[in-house]
Amino acid sequence: MRPVRLMKVFVTRRIPAEGRVALARAADCEVEQWDSDEPIPAKELERGVAGAHGANLKVISTMSVGFDHLALDEIKKRGIRVGYTPDVLTDTTAELAVSLLLTTCRRLPEAIEEVKNGGWTSWKPLWLCGYGLTQSTVGIIGLGRIGQAIARRLKPFGVQRFLYTGRQPRPEEAAEFQAEFVSTPELAAQSDFIIVACSLTPATEGLCNKDFFQKMKETAVFINISRGDVVNQDDLYQALASGKIAAAGLDVTSPEPLPTNHPLLTLKNCVILPHIGSATYRTRNTMSLLAANNLLAGLRGEPMPSELKL
C-alpha cells in the first residue's frame, strides 16, 4: 500500500471545541495549532506554516462573514479558494445590535455608573431620560442578512417606519417590514435611529462622515455593528461632542482595539463594545465547525459548505 501523504493544517489561534474536533478527526490531515487566544507572533506563524498546504496557498478559511481583511485581488489572481461563515452568526449579531441600541438610547452605562458613584439621589422627572423605539423611524444601512434580522427584532418594539439603503432596492426582503428604499442623505435626515449593517467596501468606507452626521436629527442615535472604517471617527466625535447627534453605540472601531486614550472614550454619549457581535459560545462553536469544514472541503477539492464567490 502506498503511504498516505497527510495534508498539513496549521491553525493560527485557539478555536472553539467543535472546529478543533472536526479538524482532529480528519484522517488525511496533520493538524498543529497555536494554542493561545492572542494573535500569533510573526516568527511563530512563519515556523508553523512552513509546509502547510493552506500556505502554498490553496485555501483560506476565515471564521467570519466579513472578508474585508482579505487581499481579494491577489487571492483571485492566485486562484485561492476562500471559505467564510455567513448565516450562522446572523441572529447572534442582530441580537447584539439590538442590545447596543437599547443600551445606548436608554443611557444604561451612565445610569449604572450613577448608581455606583452616588449620583442617584431622588427620582427626578428629567434625569437620565433617553429616546425610545415606540413610534420611531429606524434607518438601516444595508438590509442584508444581519440588517433584516435586526429589523425583524425591532419591529415588535413598535417601530413605525423602516428606511433602508443599499446598492439597489430589495423589494422582496423589504416587504416583511414595509421598509422604504431611500438615498443615504434621506435616511440620515429622517431616521430617529440609524443602524449600520453593511459590508465594508470601497463604496462604504467613510460613508458616515461629517456631511452624514450634519443631516441627522439632534435627537438621533447612531449604531455601527459592521466595520469601523465605514465611519469617519473624527467626524463622529465632533458630532457627539457638539450635540449635533444624541448618542452613538459602536461594536466596531478603527483601529481595533481602540486605544484607551481615544477621544471617543471620553464621551458619556458614546458606548463602545470590543467587537462582540457574534460572541456567544454556541455561535462561535458553530462558526469554528463551519470554518473547519470549509477548510477540509477546500483541501480535498470538494465543494465547500460556504464558499465565497470571487
Classify residue 196 by its DSSP letter: E
Phi, psi of 112 (to 5 degrees): -60, -40
Site string for ligand NDP, 220-259 (x = CB under 6 A): -----xxx-----------------------xx-------
In this complex, which beta carbon is closest to ligand NDP, that of residue 29 or of residue 103? 103
11 beta partners:
33
Strands 221-224 and 247-250: parallel
Question: What does the CA dihedral 245, 192, 94, 253 come to, rounded to 10 degrees?
Answer: -10
Site string for ligand NDP, 264-303 (x = CB under 6 A): -----------x-xx-------------------------
CB 289, min distance to ligand NDP, A = 17
Q: Which of 147, 191, 246, 306 binds ligand NDP (CB under 6 A)?
A: 147
Q: Looking only at Cα atoms, what is the longest distance across the chain? A: 83
262 annotated active-site = no
State the helix-helix crossing angle for 281-299 and 90-105, rounded to 10 degrees.
140
Task: Report which of 72, 12, 23, 13 is spatially closest to residue 46, judged by C-alpha positions.
Answer: 12
Q: Rule CB under 6 A: is residue 199 a binding residue for ligand NDP?
A: yes
Lookup result for grid cell 448618542: 247
Phi, psi of 275 (to 5 degrees): 55, 65
CB of 281 closer than 8 Å to CB of 15: no
Site string for ligand NDP, 26-55 (x = CB under 6 A): ------------------------------
Q: Rule CB under 6 A: is residue 144 a binding residue for ligand NDP?
A: yes
Q: Which of 136, 191, 204, 286 binds ligand NDP (CB under 6 A)?
A: 204
Phi, psi of 32 (to 5 degrees): -125, 145
Q: Rule CB under 6 A: is residue 194 a binding residue for ligand NDP?
A: no
* CA separation for the pair 289, 25 (Å, rounded): 12
Using alpha carbons only, give the angle 203, 180, 99 rounded to the nearest 5 degrees: 75
Stretch that binds ligand NDP, among 109-117, 119-127, 159-167, 215-223 (CB under 6 A): 159-167
Q: Rule CB under 6 A: is residue 143 a binding residue for ligand NDP?
A: yes
53, 69, 262, 275: which is the annotated catalytic residue? 275
Count of chain residues binding ligand NDP (CB under 6 A): 33
Q: Rule CB under 6 A: is residue 197 a binding residue for ligand NDP?
A: yes
Stretch that binds ligand NDP, among 5-13, 16-24, 153-161, 198-206 (CB under 6 A): 198-206
Task: Report which of 208, 238, 203, 206 is spatially closest to residue 222, judged by C-alpha positions.
Answer: 208
CB 103, min distance to ligand NDP, A = 14
Residue 99: exposed, middle, or buried by beta-carbon count in 10 A (0-12, 13-18, 19+)? middle
CB 204, min distance to ligand NDP, A = 5
Stretch that binds ligand NDP, among 45-53, 84-92, 211-219, 257-265 (CB under 6 A): 84-92
In this complex, which beta carbon is closest to ligand NDP, that of residue 54 or of residue 139? 139
Classify residue 149 by its DSSP letter: H
Residues that bind ligand NDP (CB under 6 A): 65-66, 86, 89-90, 93, 141-147, 165-168, 170, 197-201, 203-204, 225-227, 251-252, 275, 277-278
